[in-house]
Amino acid sequence: MTTATETSAAIPFHSYKGLSNDELRQRIIAGKQQLGKRLLVLGHHYQQDEVIEHADLTGDSLQLSQLAAQQTECETIIFCGVHFMAETADILANRPERIAAGATPVQVILPDLKAGCSMADMAAIRQVENCWDELSEVIDTNRLVPVTYINSAASLKGFVGRHGGIVCTSSNATAVLKWAFERGDRVLFFPDQHLGRNTALKLGITNDQMPVWDPYAPEFGGSSEARLRDSKVILWQGHCSVHQMFRPEHVEGFRHRIPGIKILVHPECPQEVNDLADISGSTGKIIQTVQQAPPGTKWAIGTELHLVNRLKKQQPEQEIHFLSPVLCMCATMYRIDLAHLCWSIENLLQGCAVNVIQVDRETADFSIAALERMLTVK
């Protein structure tokens, strides 16, 4: 169980709503200076630029949590991301062996508790447990390896750890699936069906071997018993609301309008988009690919809008376009703004930690087991 403590704030949030970004910026800088090394601010790549400006470390969700776990001086982490990221930071930063070695326990703050993840919310722990029970009636679950994407609740990471499974990221999903097939006959992959499908296809697994489990179907996830018995990867019916927006016609439109353009997408995109792309890769790979490309390279990039716009500013010698004509962004990530960040910092200065995220010890321990398996995979 994860507790999200919405403490009675020393300073109410409503007093920040009318402040300009310039004033908020100055107050954040002043607050961080007063707190010094006791505070670490983490900023996910999808954050707004004005928030990223104040991040001590930036990266994707796992990178940031790993970096947080390496800190020895901070007492508080403010995670400018979404809920599951703050959970992972709490799990890794407060590992028992780290605390036993003398490290300071760390409290993790999510500036706005409403900053969730629609994909992570598409797989609830009870749904996954029910799925596992139903599958046990059809297949040998002792030979079924559960794999959860890092973009999932701590309860699901704990479930995976408890059942001998593993966590994956978009950058190591291929290696993780290979690991899983060395230990079982089939994989249950959740919550993002597209990452699971695109990864499994690279390993030679066909779509007819990948039934999709609908948690709202009345029986066996909407699949037949025969299809489940013939499966290699059972995909969960979940997706990222941002990456789901990209369509094949967007790719075809750019190729028609701009000769020589390269299509660069995240593997959370649907298969029909992923298959048309020149390059498919994680957030880190997208950034690295653009940074290493020669001047004059033309890109249409299928990932979160704020990141694409940041790449445009950072690489002006390249021509960079957002792949979709519809401006879609991670709306829940967008809830973390300067007002919430300033409110969190100034309450800390008053001795009041707001919106503390804490994962219970049992869930954290099983989650650590699944995360550590992932970290050993090359």
Q: What domains are defined for the chain?
A: 2-116+333-359 (3.40.50.10800), 120-240 (3.40.50), 243-322 (3.40.50.10800)
Beta strands in 233-287 (DSSP E): 233-236, 262-265, 279-280
Contact 109, 357 (CB under 8 A): yes
Separation between Cα atoms, residue 356 and residue 337, nearest integer Å: 17
Three-state SS for 47-74 is CCHHHHCCCCEEECHHHHHHHHHCCCCC
DSSP H helices, 83-219, are 83-93, 96-100, 125-135, 154-162, 173-181, 193-202
Question: 299 forms bridges with which residues in the sheet?
Answer: 262, 320
Residue that is written with structure tokens 């979940």 in the block: 238
* pLDDT value of position 318: 97
Question: 359 forms bridges with which residues in the sheet?
Answer: 2
In the chain (378 residues long), the average pLDDT of successive 10-residue segments reads 64 93 97 96 90 93 78 89 92 86 88 89 96 97 97 96 96 96 97 98 98 96 96 97 93 97 97 98 94 97 93 96 82 85 97 95 96 87
* pLDDT value of position 4: 59
Identify which of 38, 48, 68, 56 has the alpha carbon closest to the alpha carbon of residue 340. 48
* pLDDT value of position 1: 57
* pLDDT value of position 6: 55
The 10 Å CB-count burial string (b at 16+, else e) for 98-110 is: beeeebbebbbbb
